[in-house]
Every structure is written in structure tokens, then in C-alpha cells.
Structure 1
Amino acid sequence: MNKIFETPIYGYQRSPDQDAPAPVRHQVIIIGAGPVGLAAAIDLGQQGVEVLVLDDNDKVSFGSRAICFAKRPLEILDRLGCGQPMVDKGVVWNLGKVFFDDRKVFEFDLLPEKGHQRPAFINLQQYYFEEYLVNRVRELQSEGAPIEIRGRNKVEAIGTHHDHVKLEVETPEGSYTVEADWLVACDGAGSPTRRMMGLDFVGRVFEDNFLIADVIMEADFPTERWFWFDPPFNKGQSALLHKQPDGVWRIDLQLGWDIDKEREKRPENVIPRLKQMLGEDVEFELEWVSIYTFQCRRMEKFRHGRVIFAGDAAHQVSPFGARGANSGLQDTDNLCWKLKMVIDGNAPESLLDSYDVERVHGADENILNSSRSTDFITPKSEMSRVLRDAVLDLSEQYEFARPLVNSGRLSVPCTYDGSPLNSADALGGPDRTRPGAPCPDAPLGDEFLLPKLAGKFTLLTIDADAPDVIEEDGIRVERLALSVKDDPTLELKRRYLGDCDSGVYLIRPDQHVAARRPSFDENQFRHAIRRATGKDLQ
């Protein structure tokens, strides 16, 4: 068993708050030191926001859990200062293959275009991810960032007020009370915060059960995503194979509806199933085993006054499609710049309502895709199965059928169409960079575009004139002036200009487009800045 599971990395230490005569107030308290909570802490801490992370554990997560991290979350992690360790350790992949019975019916490339700094996906065990995030927290702490993690500090009660939140916290040395101006709940799918506040999910729970196993073995399978429908080793069901670092392989096997979950997790039952898949002669060791069911659900609202939910605490999807941790990182990416602006008095508190609007939209998009994947992978009627199998048969020879095959629509960044923060796009440009869209990367000689757009409002001009700085009601926006001549590959023109000769973009701190026009108009862009910061919504 991997010893990293057993080693405390933010062990319990008594804090001054426990001896204070009155509850100590913190700017932001985050409940949960998983990937989403730690990412939020790093994001806020980098901006100088005082943040306290409370977790009832003191170690990384047991088992690898989330393993697939998509390009957009890797770009977010670059901004947080910990993307490179992820890519260095992770297994990079772009290619997926789909099998029906024992036939490969087609394959797909998730990153068919060049000119991106990050790959389509990496596979990396969640315990490494959490370790790298904690390392980044320690690095920021050494630089004076106001971040603190308290392990074995379990929140037992929450009281909400109009201007703060009060928490009762249990520790190995007794309980204490602490307060927060803002509380961010990142405490997972079973969120105690959600339960304590009397809130619940809406959505679907699917009946099928899946065995998930991380297996240590030496194997010569390629670094690809392999998905089987009705394989010989798991007839009538499905299977998935992924490679991870350190010789660990992720295997998912569909088990069906009416099973004894505890019995199915026992090694004496797991090992024969894996031998059927891998062969009797393959030697392997079980690192982690679990049973899960699909759940496609979310809270009705993610913001409840001074309490804001993110990650699995706010929404759940099936693991096929890698939309769980990836969407959680996009939650924090959306939230933290807004929270910073509200705390600093540079935006109204109502700006946080746009987090709810935009990330509920993102959750609904993920739930829709995840539900469709689940219905295709696990047909609910014989007719549905006949239709699905016909699509799989046709996909082997006919291109038109391949988009209909759904083995999990893999995570892509969300475009916030209809967001109240978007300014109207009056005069064209590429659809992929319309207001609300995440900025695609582009090569700039030996550099890339996205690192130049990180963490601040930016006025991006491409072959267009504009002031070097705009200041609007306390918001400073600096210009990044580029030309299509900076990129001989012409990807910058394709992704940002299309048929236009020039373009001017207002880019948000989370690298989403707020406004776009072919040329600079001062009044329009000042209005766009106010709208994007919640000050001039219509």
C-alpha cells in the first residue's frame, strides 16, 4: 500500500484561536483541504486575501480517486503556480480508443490542433495532486502569503449571519469557535456544510454500480484511454483502462444493478475479474478498490448569503468524462477573483451572484453531458441497447456514426453564454472567442498567450490601437499589444480575429472574454469594465 496515504502532511497543531477570549474573525474560511479547497486557498492567498483552511483529516486522499486532468484546469493550475509539477509527473495523453466486443471501432484525438502549451489531458493520482497543492501552499507561506491549513479541525456547527458566518470546530484538544467574513464549502459530495444548513441536491441517481480499481503492474498497453462496450471479459457491461504514473493502472468495470457492494470489493472477488480482463499470467497488486454509482445532481443555488459552495459539495457527475475535479477547479477559478474584488471594495457584493449564474450553467452543462453518457453506457431498455449497439457497429466503418458514440464526453471548458457580465458582441469574430468564452492558448514565438493573461483584467489588442492603461472606478486594466506578425503559425489570427483584420478584447482575471470589438472605443470598453465587475449590469 502506498505510504503517502498514511503520512500527515498538515498535522494538527494548536492554534491561537483556541485560546482567544472571543471568536477570531477571518476574511475567508474554506472547509475541505481536497483539490478544490486547496486551489481556492492558493488563488486567494496569491492575491493577499487572508484564508484559513479547515479539514477533519490531515493527509492526502486515500486512493487515487480523480485521475484525469484536462487542458483548461492545467492552465488554471499554471496560474496558481503548480501546473508544471502536475505535467512533469503525470502521464500525458491525447488519444482515445473505443472497442465493441473485441473490435476497435474507432479512435479519436482530443487535441488535433497545435499551438497549445498544455496537453489535452494528463493522468495523475489525486494524492500527488493534493501533495503538490500543499507544497505550493508551503511555498506561498514562506513568501508571506496569509494562508493557514489546520488538520484535524472538524466543523461541527455553522451559524449564518448577514455579515459573517460562525463555526464550531472540534479538535483533538476540544472545541472552539471561529468566525469568517466569507465561508467557502469545498467539503465533498457528502458535504457536512450542506447538511448542517439543511440544503440538498436535485437531479438523478443511477442504479448501475461500477468497480473502480487502481492496479500496480508492468504492462505494455499504450498511453491512451481505452473504453470497451460489451467486452468478452465483462459481457453485457462496459470497461475502462487508463495509465497512471508509477506503474499504476486505473480499471473501471461495470457490475450491474443488484449487487452486494462490500462483497464485490473483497480481493478474492476483485482479482478474478481483473484476471479475466488482463490475463491469468499478468502479475498485479491492488492499490485501491471502491464501488461507485453514477450521480448527476447539483444544489439549486451555489451561493447562500455568506456561504458559497464549490466542487463536489455543489454538484456531482458521473466519473466518465473527467468532469468532477476539472469542473471544481473551474468553480474556484470563477469565484476567487470576484471574492477578492468584493473584499477589497472594488465590486458590489452582488458580483458573487454571477458566480452562481455562471457555475450553475457550467454544472448543468456537465450534468447534461454526463447523463447522456450514462444513458448510452448503461441502456435502460432493450430497445435502447439495440440502438446503441447499431451505432457502435456503424462507427467501425462510417464517420457519421462516430459522434453518436458516447463513452463519456470528456471535459471541456465552459463558455458562459448569457452571463450578466458579458458585453454584447456587435461586430463579429470567431465563435470560439465570443464573450463568455475561455481564451484559447496561442503560440507567441517561444512563449504562449495564456500566461500573459493570468490573474488580472487585460485589454488584449491585436493589430489595433488603444491606451496602455485604462482606470475605471478603481479598476486598473493594462494593455497587452500583439500583432499577427508575432505568430508565424497564424493560430493567433485564426483563434482571435477570424476574418477580421484587428481585434480588441477585455479579458477577465479568469481568462474568460468579457467584451470583444474589432477596434477600441473608450466609452464601450469603460462600460464593459463596469459590467464585468458587476457595477453596471442591465
Structure 2
Amino acid sequence: MLHDRYQLAFKLYPYERTADQDADTPVRHPVVVMGGGPIGIATALDLGLQGIPVVVLDDHEGIGMGSRAICFAKRSLEIADRYGCGKPMLDKGVVWNLGKVFHDDRKVFEFNLLPEEGHKFPAFINLQQPYFERFLVERVREAQANGAPIELRGKNRVDNVSPHDDHVTLEITTPEGPYTIEADWLIGCDGASSPLRGMMGLDFEGRVFEDSFLIADIKMVNTEFPTERWFWFEPHFKSGASTLLHKQPDGVWRVDFQIGWDIDRKTELQEENVRARLDAMLGEVDYEIVWTSIYTFQCRRMKKFRHGRVLFAGDAAHQVSPFGARGANSGMQDVDNLGWKLGLVIDGKAPDALLDTYDAERVFGADENILNSTRATDFITPKSKISHIFRNAVLDLAEQFEFARPLVNSGRLSVPCVYDNGPLNGADALPGGPSRTRPGSPCPDAPLEDGYLLDKLGGGFVLLTIDELAPDELEEAGIALRRVALTTSGTASGVLADRYLGQVTSGVYLIRPDQHVTARWDHYDEAATRAALRHAIGLE
């Protein structure tokens, strides 16, 4: 089922004939992205804003149908903000920080995902995936108007790929027939079923959990549910073994029912059966069904995300169960990690081997997500009598005792990955420095006198100095290092000092284009800075 509100601007890039289709020999492109979902469009936007020509091939003509992913984490919004589309996402999305967990008809406890102040973006927004995609595409259109070399080709289905040592050949089908192009680099963002993965004879490794969840997006009238995440274990209304409720924009609510493994999907998706579950849960509430679907938990990934000139990102590279909102959010972190590295390689400023660190860091991130998702799934869907008894005992204890609450797992919600022991990490020479800003960490935001820290960092290499002298500009190996000089003497100094200095009075941070810390010191040292920068681009 699909309400027409989700068909908004569906054909955002309808099929148009290109010059490539009339060329005598295959045209070579620097980068081709396969798949026009949020991860594919974000990848094109990242590269295009660097001035790198990129072509997106999509077998559809715009945004997908159905709300699908709805929870977008602060880190994804920060990444989108660097691309220039974070504000419309925040303006449209439903902001939430508070979650509540119930067992039967009792509230076990509640939690706040962002209890501290001083961040430009909230912990999460709920926003239907079609809106998220639309805002990305609209930003692409703005970038194109300003000269960004991004091309979106709808109704261009890739039917075959042939990888070579220095390029990839793609055979494409369109409404006007086939044609062939070449790519220096091919990025697979074509989703969980990934035709590209199949064409290359590659597969996932991991687990498929024997349980099913029914999604129902509904538009309710005069509801009293607050803007919070509510999760029930063994709910008293008996509509499923567990149930999740979220609010979305436009008065739409997402409901997930755990319905078991041995089911008839066609029968479960019949409207009268969906309504029976909803009526038992909601009681006398008027609602309209907007969209329904059934999904199965899967926690899997490819063994490697890089295969020569072909790289994989998003669901094409890894899958996790949806509780924890780690799917689309981890995909955005893939883009954030890959974009600057591929840009430097294409520009000749970094060796090809830098792309191997994309594989290393994002495989690490995928494993972290899979571990958290697997634990959540095992807790939500216990597979033995003993596991079920243990789970319920934890819930009973959590209702009264704080020590048990961290054991309750209704989905460990997405947080940005810290690349501990990452291949690009440099020195940690800030004695007593905060753990949250150690090398490998994403920079936490902080309020400044004239805005927010992450806005000032931008998307290039930055030397962040806090109460420490250093040159305003430095160039090493063709990389321009820009200084952001801050002081702790202002009214917002306490937050900045707490997050970046800890027990010391001054600090210097070398920060990557994806705003991850690569090295830090308690004073400026030019030789150490140059060495750390060379290491961060794979030269040492």
C-alpha cells in the first residue's frame, strides 16, 4: 500500500538521451556510481562538490517509494550539512531524543540520547527516506547550477560489468536501447540485493535471523502519543511479540510488529489483518494506512568493500537489522569516509593504496554495527526458553534497579564510528586529553561565539588550535592545511575545553576532511604536523 504523499516528485531525473549513447567508442568517466538511492546520490554530491565528474546510473527515475528508513542520526545530519542540505532535513524532520521501553503494560525505563547541550543537530530526526533522498537530489540540482560536474541518469540499468586493471566497462540498457561506457572507478550503491555484487560473483557473510517484522505506516487523527520512541516487549495488546512506535512528519506514525518466522506474507499484508493488529494496539483511534511491508533481520557484510577499481558502499556492502537505525546512517558514514580519499587519489595527491584504508575503516565500522545489531536482535527475539527467561528477568529488574537498565536492548541506536587503531591515526600527544576526541574519533560539535565548531571545520584538512599559536596556512605534499584558531576565553569556552582539552590548557588537532581526528598534541610542532598529514594521506 502507498499513500500518494510518498509519490512526491517521484521522477526527479527522468530518462534523457545522452551523448554517450551516440559515441563511436565507449566514453570514459572518472567515476560512475551504480544506484540512485540516498547513498548513491550522497556519493555523487560529495565527489561533485570536489569538482570531480561523476555519473549516477539508476534503473529508476527518482526517489524510491515507501517510507523505508526513517531514523537519521546526528552524524548523518552533520554530513548532510557539509553537503549543504542538512537544514531542510532538520526543518522537515521530527526531532526526538527521548525513548521509552515497556514490558507488557509497564514502563521499564526511559532514556535520553543527547542529554548534553551545545550541538547544532539533535540526536535523531525521524524523516521518511523519500524526503531524505529528495533533499539530496535538490542539493545536486543546486550544485549542478553552480558548475558541479554531476550527472543523474534515470532509466539506465547496468546489465554487465567487466573490471580491468585500470578501468571498468559497463553495459547499460535504456528505453532507447543499450550502450557501453567505461569508468576509472565504479562505486556500487545499488542496495541490499546489489546486482553489481551478483555480476562480480560476490556475496555476503553473516546471519539471517528467523523472525519477521510487519511495518505499518499510518496517519492518525487526534492522537495523544508524544514525539518519542516507544518500544514494547510482549505488549499487553498482543499484536506481536514486540512492537515499536515512532512519529514521522505529516502526521504519519511508524509501527513495527514482531510476527514470527513461520508466516504467510501475503496473508499478513492483507489490509484487514494489518488493521486487526493496529486496532488491538490503538483502540478507538481513526487512522489511514499509508504503507506496509514485511522485513527479516539480517546482519551480514561483504568480506571486502574494495575490489580493485570497484568499491561498495551502503546496503550493497553491509546489512544490519533495522532496530538501532544503523543501515542508512552507516551508509552515510561510508560516503563520508570514501569521498575525500577517492578525491585525493583521482587528483593525484594520494596513492591508490589510500583506498584500502576505506575498506579497513568501514569494515571495522560494519563489524561494530553488526555486533550491536546482532545483540539487539538476540535480545528482542530470544531463540530458546532459557534466553527468554533471562530477557524477561532483565526487564523486571530494570523496572526498579538502574544497574539492569544498560542490559535492556531494544536496539543500540546509531552513533558515529571511532576508528581506534585506524590505519591513518597519528600521534596522541595530548596528556589527559578527552577520550571522546582521541585519534580516530569524529569531532564532537561545540558552540562558539559565532556559530558551531563543525561549521568552521568544513570539509578539508584542518589544523585546529585552541589557545596555541601556529601558521594560518601550511602546505604539505600538495595538501593545503587550513588553520582554525580558537580560544577558551569566550562565554562558550567551557564546552569547547571540556570536549577538546580536558586537563590541559592548550591543544592542537589535525583533522581529516571527514572531520575525524587523525592526531593531536599539546603544542604546535611543524615537523610532527607535516609527518602526520603525510601519514593521513597514505604517503608514510
Q: TM-score normalized by structure 1?
A: 0.98
Determine which of 240, 247, 250 is the counterpart of 2:244: 240
Q: Does residue 144 of structure 1 match 2:138?
A: no
CA deviation string 1:391-438 (max 9, x = no partner):
111111111011000000000000011111000313431100000000
Percentage identity across aligned positions?
67
How many corresponding residue pairs? 535
In 2, distance between residues paired with 1:468 and 1:30? 36
- Taking a change above 3 Å as real, the CA distance of residues 489 and 482 of structure 1, as seen in their structure-2 partners, is closer
Q: Which moved more, 1:125-134 or 1:233-242?
A: 233-242
Residue in 1 that maps onto 2:465: 461
Residue in 2 that maps onto 1:186: 189
- For residue 233 of structure 1, report the CA deviation from its aligned partner: 1.6
Helix, strand or coil: the match of 1:486? coil
1:203-352 pair list within 5 angstroms: 203-218=206-221, 219-234=223-238, 237-279=241-283, 281-352=284-355
Helix, strand or coil: the match of 2:231? strand
In 1, distance between residues paired with 2:20 and 2:69? 34
Determine which of 151, 161, 165 is the counterpart of 1:162: 165
Q: Which amino acid aligns with 1:5?
A: Q
Determine which of 7, 16, 29 is the counterpart of 1:5: 7
Q: Does residue 528 of structure 1 match 2:538?
A: no
Determine which of 29, 32, 42 is the counterpart of 1:29: 32
- For residue 236 of structure 1, report the CA deviation from its aligned partner: 6.7
Do the aligned partners of 1:261 and 1:291 also contact (CA within 8 Å) in 2?
A: yes
In 2, distance between residues paired with 1:234 and 1:62? 30
Helix, strand or coil: the match of 2:489? helix
Q: Which amino acid aligns with 1:2?
A: D
Q: Which moved more, 1:231-240 or 1:401-410?
A: 231-240
CA deviation string 1:119-168 (max 9, x = no partner):
00000001111111111111111111100100010000000001101000
In 2, distance between residues paired with 1:520 and 1:384? 54
Do the aligned partners of 2:100 and 2:110 also contact (CA within 8 Å) in 1?
A: yes
Residue in 1 that maps onto 2:129: 126
Determine which of 329, 354, 361 is the counterpart of 2:357: 354
Determine which of 514, 519, 526 is the counterpart of 1:510: 514
Q: Does residue 402 of structure 1 match 2:408?
A: no
Do the aligned partners of 1:12 and 1:150 also contact (CA within 8 Å) in 2?
A: yes
Residue in 2 that maps onto 1:64: 67
CA deviation string 1:476-498 (max 9, x = no partner):
10111111113435010000000
- For residue 46 of structure 1, report the CA deviation from its aligned partner: 0.5
Q: Which amino acid aligns with 1:190?
A: S
Do the aligned partners of 2:239 and 2:277 also contact (CA within 8 Å) in 1?
A: no
Q: Which amino acid aligns with 2:403?
A: F
Residue in 1 that maps onto 2:488: 484
CA deviation string 1:235-275 (max 9, x = no partner):
67100000000010000000011001121111121111111
Residue in 2 that maps onto 1:200: 203
- Taking a change above 3 Å as real, the CA distance of residues 476 and 489 of structure 1, as seen in their structure-2 partners, is closer
In 2, distance between residues paired with 1:212 and 1:508? 39
Q: Which moved more, 1:228-237 or 1:508-517?
A: 228-237
1:17-56 pair list within 5 angstroms: 17-56=20-59
In 1, distance between residues paired with 2:311 and 2:149? 20
CA deviation string 1:303-341 (max 9, x = no partner):
000000000000000000000000000000000000000
- For residue 382 of structure 1, report the CA deviation from its aligned partner: 0.7
In 2, distance between residues paired with 1:396 and 1:484? 42
Q: Which amino acid aligns with 1:89?
A: K
In 2, distance between residues paired with 1:464 and 1:427? 13
Unmatched 5+ stretches in structure 1: none
Residue in 1 that maps onto 2:503: 499
After superposition, the CA RMSD in angstroms is 1.0
Residue in 1 that maps onto 2:523: 519
In 2, distance between residues paired with 1:4 and 1:328? 22
Q: Which amino acid aligns with 1:288?
A: W
Q: Which amino acid aligns with 2:87?
A: Q
Q: Does residue 77 of structure 1 match 2:76?
A: no
Do the aligned partners of 1:4 and 1:60 also contact (CA within 8 Å) in 2?
A: no
Q: Which amino acid aligns with 2:476?
A: E
Q: Which amino acid aligns with 1:252?
A: D
1:413-492 pair list within 5 angstroms: 413-428=416-431, 429-488=433-492, 490-492=494-496
Residue in 2 that maps onto 1:91: 94
Do the aligned partners of 2:429 and 2:522 also contact (CA within 8 Å) in 1?
A: no
- For residue 60 of structure 1, report the CA deviation from its aligned partner: 1.3
- For residue 177 of structure 1, report the CA deviation from its aligned partner: 0.1
CA deviation string 1:60-97 (max 9, x = no partner):
11100000000011000000100000000000000000
Q: Does residue 388 of structure 1 match 2:391?
A: yes
Do the aligned partners of 1:443 and 1:487 also contact (CA within 8 Å) in 2?
A: no
- Taking a change above 3 Å as real, the CA distance of residues 487 and 169 of structure 1, as seen in their structure-2 partners, is farther
Helix, strand or coil: the match of 1:137? helix
Do the aligned partners of 1:53 and 1:148 also contact (CA within 8 Å) in 2?
A: yes
In 2, distance between residues paired with 1:448 and 1:247? 31
Helix, strand or coil: the match of 2:100? strand
Q: Which moved more, 1:358-367 or 1:213-222?
A: 213-222
Q: Which amino acid aligns with 2:289?
A: L
Q: Which amino acid aligns with 1:451?
A: D
CA deviation string 1:85-119 (max 9, x = no partner):
00000000000000000001100000011000000
In 2, distance between residues paired with 1:168 and 1:30? 14
Q: TM-score normalized by structure 2?
A: 0.98
Q: Which amino acid aligns with 2:7?
A: F
Do the aligned partners of 1:234 and 1:253 also contact (CA within 8 Å) in 2?
A: no
